[in-house]
Amino acid sequence: MDSVKGIYGAKPTPLMVYEMLESRFGFQGWWPGRNNFEILVGAMLTQQTSWKNVDKALLNLRKGGLLSLNALADADLHELELMIRPSGYYRQKAARLKAVCSYIRYKHSTLRRFLNLDVQTLRAELLSLNGIGNETSDSIILYAADKPVFVIDAYTKRMAARLFGIWENLEYDVLQDYFQSALAKDVGLYKDFHAQIVELGKRYCRTKPLCGDCPLFKICKYRKSTWHPY
């Protein structure tokens, strides 16, 4: 990784980045979901779609009385498909949701017992389930289980590539370790930092970036490069 000089000649650190983002955007208080189970379901449904569509699917499930571990494990698959249709890939997601809920009930009886596992065991079990990858598993661990793992998503990869000069296709665990080794193991910090990065990605650090008013403009390696208009 190349060294990057920031404001006042200092090398930008993840904590510096967080403080600059929080100063601009304010505390985010994010992830949507009324309880731990809704967060788990939402983390699975949000794959390859927007949260706006997930919210519609969650509303359907809530109205249909299916937002519980037992209800989803016992749900009629066709009925479940119809309810989560707004989230896209609904047949695939319905089968995976039902299977995950059935697994948790069979092996752990309750969601609480499942989420109370230590981080390594919980992550290993989540990753063993069909349809749950690194980002989804870590979102569940951080937001539903309240355990300190830093979530790496597409926004984080893009920001790190542009800001720090990190290869955007770096392996998930390597980039995660970069952030975790630089930050205190604080669940609240990890949650809000992830939310801040999402906000940055939506507003400024897009595929075609809007650098001019970006809160990280002064410390960004990308905007200083010779091939960037800024």
139 and 63, same domain (yes or no): yes
Count structural domains, the chain: 2
Give the model's pLDDT for residue 227: 47
> Are the C-beta atoms of residues 50 and 78 closer than 8 Å to each other?
no
Distance CA 118, CA 202 (A): 33
49 and 84, same domain (yes or no): yes
Q: pLDDT band at residue 221, thresholds of 50, 70 and 90?
A: confident
Distance CA 54, CA 60 (A): 10
Distance CA 160, CA 102 (A): 37
98 and 177, same domain (yes or no): no
132 and 116, same domain (yes or no): yes
pTM (2 d.p.): 0.91
Contacts of 117 (CB under 8 A, 6+ apart): 125
**Mean per-residue pLDDT over the chain, rounded:** 91
pLDDT at 109 over 60: yes
Give the model's pLDDT for residue 12: 87
23 and 93, same domain (yes or no): no
Full residue range of the structural domain in which residue 66 is found: 36-144
1 falls within a domain? no
230 falls within a domain? no
For 11, the token pair is 């090398």
Distance CA 153, CA 34 (A): 23
Domain end call among 144, 173, 189: 144
140 and 155, same domain (yes or no): no
Place of tokens 């299977």: 99
41 and 79, same domain (yes or no): yes
